[in-house]
Each structure stands twice: as structure tokens, then as C-alpha cells.
Structure 1
Amino acid sequence: MNTHIHSHHNQWLIHAPELNVNAQWFTPEYWQQQNKILGQSRGRNITWFVGDESSPMVLRHYYRGGLIGKLVTDKYWFSGLKNTRAYREYQLLIELEKRKLPACRVVAANVVKSGLNYRADLLMKMVDGGQDLVALLTKSPMSEELWQEIGKTLAIFHKNNVYHADLNAHNILMNKDNNAWLIDFDRGEIKQQRGQWCQDNLDRLLRSFNKELNQLPQFYFEQDNWKTLMAAYNAELAIN
């Protein structure tokens, strides 16, 4: 799958050659004018759902996390287009699609350089009927089959040496067919081989479940659910 890069005055649009991408696509105002804002998700920052009901997309702006995020919000040091977070995530998502892994299908990326810094955005196809695990588990317990599905899916990503830098309960979705999908591959990568990073991924996810359990008034997660997930994970890893 080829990548087309259109550059103009310190702005780069990255997309498939057959797409005619407009720089305005990366502004919520453009979609508002078209009356094509489908909704929004408020986590640490706003993610926009845009486009037509028949082909909804997710527009995500790159924001910094942690203490530095309070100071510079969304600016990153520019050291070449191919080192930007948007370009790297775009290329990773293309590779995951080639491998037929259940990750968001990327549409286009946008990088705008200003002085020594850059800002960036990513446009992706929405997962059909996708709901994140936190949203689901605040409503009701999940079946053992769904926990097994999540464990199996994580193992498939790890068998493909895919490292997810921020594996948490918000970044795992169940689609309309109850298949697990992973989203938000910012700073993710394909590793040379499996190693300690796999366990680090799982540890991070377990911490995320326990954090939500401690913070939310109602969150249906028990340690037995984790055992079910891990049993399915290990069973899938054992299959060549």
C-alpha cells in the first residue's frame, strides 16, 4: 500500500494516493460547517467523530501527556517528517492493516511545522459499533467469552511483535460483532521479537483495570476476569 505525501508551506498531508485529501479535513470547524460532526469523546482531550453516518471517521489531535503537557499542550520537537508521531503511527497502522490485525484503519495524517516544533493530527475510520471496555464495564459485567476474546486478541498482536505503548481499558474496543479491537497506537512499534515488553503491556493493562475499579462508583471487574483473559492469552500464544 503506497503512501502519498503532499507538502505545502511547512505542512504535510500523508494519505493513500487514490485519496484527494484536503488540509481542512483536520479541523473540527470544517466538519461543523458541513454539518458532519457525529459526536465527540472527552478523555484527557477531545476526539471528534466526523463524516457521514455511512462512513464515520475519528479525528484525533496529538496532545502531550504528563507534566510537560500542561506547559506545551500539543507541540513536539521537529526532527524530520519521518520522525513525527503522526507519520510513524500512520505507517504502523498501514502495516497492521496489511497483517489483517484488528486495529483502526488509518485514512490520513497531517503534520504542520512551526519554527522548531510541529503539531499533528490523525484521521481514521471508526470501528463499527465500537465501545471501549470502560464504557462497557460501567454498565454490566462482561461474559467469560468476551474476556477470552480480549486475551486471544492481545496474544495475536504479541505474536505479531506489535508493541502498544499505552495499553489500557480505554484503548480496547468491542465492535458490533463482539470482536476486540485495539486503538491509539501513538508511540507503538513492531519489535524484533517477543520479550519483557509483552509482560509490561499486560501489567499496564491490569493496572488500568484496577485504577478504574478504584475510581469509578460502578465498574464490573474482578480478578477472576483477569485470570480468564490470561488463560486465553496463554492458550493462543501456545498455538503456532
Structure 2
Amino acid sequence: MNSSAIVKPCQQKVFQQDNLYCVYESKLLKNFHPQVFVPDYWQAQQAIEGTAQGRGTTYFIKQGKHHWVLRHYYRGGLIGKLVNDHYLFTGNHATRAAREFALLTQLRQLDLPAPKPVAFCVRRSGVSYQADIITERIEQARDLVALLSTESLSPELWRDIGRCIQAFHRHGIYHHDLNAHNILIDNDNKVWLIDFDQGEQRKPAQHWQQQNMDRLLRSFNKESKKLAQFYWQADNWQQLMEGYLS
């Protein structure tokens, strides 16, 4: 089943104005307005707790008791150098933001450890669009690269990582960019997966599941070569796979 086919829960509302199309969780954003996707709006309220750098800047926001992540969609690879953050518009529900938001909604319904979706916005300009998404921030959590830069993990935690990935695969959840940065461990040693841009639900199949695992293994090897200190060994992969195959 494709994530774009999911029926939206009743608390998700639509905001449309001129070239804007937004969907938001009304229980989380009770007084919604499009400025919530503008970093300067949050900066003016001194609500930005921090940032992270990737293809662009990701903003960590504190809104009351909530902690959120604001992310703009950027292209990668060679085409990203040419058009940066513009995508071909073929309909609001076909945009990357709408598809990721719908998939995250589905993951929460399946009780899988992924961030809660908060809102997304699509700005159409002629035949192209730009987009942003706000998701829940997993509190008191670090990604595996940050964690392995300071300490080693227990064999059981490696197995838990494998079990977590298997839970997603069992439901047919394809993660387009499964790497060590997109796996988080919180203070209770719970494992989370984040960043489901271009992810989708597919019929479970060995070929794409193996592609996910191969990509993850490459990311561990890449980080171990790049970082001066990285607590990663071949045995850790075996422990992860023990959990994945259990």
C-alpha cells in the first residue's frame, strides 16, 4: 500500500492560501499560520534550541512543552547543484512533504518508533514547488554517529537496533536513506528511525530490504574511515544482524 493513499485522521487540518498548501495536526498547532515554517519567526521568539547541518540547516524548536524539528527539502547529487530546492509539481499529495507526512502518520498508527508528524507546507511556483516539514523531536536522543564517536555499544543494544529495523521491514516500510545518522538512541536505550523522505510502504521483499541493510553497512564503514575515533567493529554488524534475523 502506498503511503499517499492513507486516510487522514480527523485532527489533521488543511490550510490553503494563494500558492500555499499546508496540513497540520490541530492538537499540536492550535493557532496555525504559515509563519511556523519560517526560521526567522522562531528566532524572533527565541524558540530555536539548536541547529544541525546536512544539505541545509535543520532547526530544533521548543514550543511550550513540545520539541520539534523544522526541515526544508533540498535536492541531493548533481541535480541539487542546479535546482537546489525546487521539485516538479504534479499535485499536492504527490509532493515529498505530503508523502513523508502521510508515511509518518501511518508509522505512528503501526506503533513503530518514528517521529510524530506535526505539519508540512508546499509552496507552488508555476510548474515547481518548494516544501518544509515539522516533526516531533525525539528528546534526549543521539544519532549513532554521535554516540559511536564517544562510546561503544553493548551487544544487546546492537541487537535492539537490528530488531528495530526488522520491525519496519516486517511492515514493508522502505527507508530510502537508512544510515547511521538516521538511527537514534534515547536515554532509555530505545531505538528510533528518522528522516523518511522518499520512504514508502512496499510489499516485503528481500531485494529492497537487503539494499537497506547494505546501505547501512556502507555508512558504518564510511564513518569509521572518516572519523578519528569511532567505536565500530565488524563484530557489531554481526550482533546487529542477530537482532535483525531473530
TM-score, normalised to structure 2's length? 0.93
* Alpha-carbon distance in 1 for matches of 2:201, 2:31: 29
Q: Does 1:224 align with 2:235?
A: yes
Q: Does 1:29 find its partner at 2:40?
A: yes
Q: How many angstroms does 1:37 deviate by?
A: 0.7
Distance 1:107 1:134 in 2: 26
**1:86 matched to which residue of 2?**
97
Name whichever of 7-16 and 94-103 sits farther off: 7-16
CA positional deviation for 1:89: 0.4
Equivalent of 1:168 in 162, 179, 193? 179
Partner letter of residue 33 of structure 1? A
Whether the aligned pair in 2 keeps the contact of 1:159 and 1:194 (CA below 8 Å) is: no
- Identical positions, percent: 47
| Structure 2 partner of 1:181 | 192
Residue from 12, 15, 34 that aligns with 1:6: 15
Q: Deviation per CA, 1:189-225, whole angstroms, max 9, x where unpaired? A: 0112333111110000000000001111111110100
Distance in 2 (alpha carbons) for counterparts of 1:164 and 1:7 = 30
The one-letter amino acid paired with 2:177 is D
Opposite residue 186 of structure 1, the aligned amino acid is D
The equivalent residue for 2:5 is: none
Match of 1:210 in 2: 221
- Partner of residue 104, structure 1: 115
Alpha-carbon distance in structure 2 between the residues aligned to 1:169 and 1:137: 10
- Once residues 199 and 133 of structure 1 are traced to their aligned partners in structure 2, the CA distance between those partners, rounded to angstroms, is 20
- RMSD, aligned α-carbons: 1.2
Offset of residue 73 of structure 1? 1.0
SS of the residue 1:96 aligns to: helix
Cα distance between partner residues in 1 of 2:222 and 2:88: 32
4+ residue runs over 6 A deviation? none
- What is the distance in 2 between the residues matched to 1:84 and 1:98? 21
Length, aligned pairs only: 235
Distance 1:174 1:53 in 2: 24
**Structure 2: 5+ residue runs without aligned partners?**
1-8
Task: Report SS of the residue matched to 2:150.
Answer: coil
Counterpart of 1:75 (choices 72, 86, 107) is 86
Provide TM-score, normalisation by structure 1. 0.95
Mapped partners of 2:60, 2:219: distance in 1 = 25
Q: Distance in 2 between matches of 1:63 and 1:203?
A: 24
Return 5+ residue gaps in structure 1 as ranges.
236-240
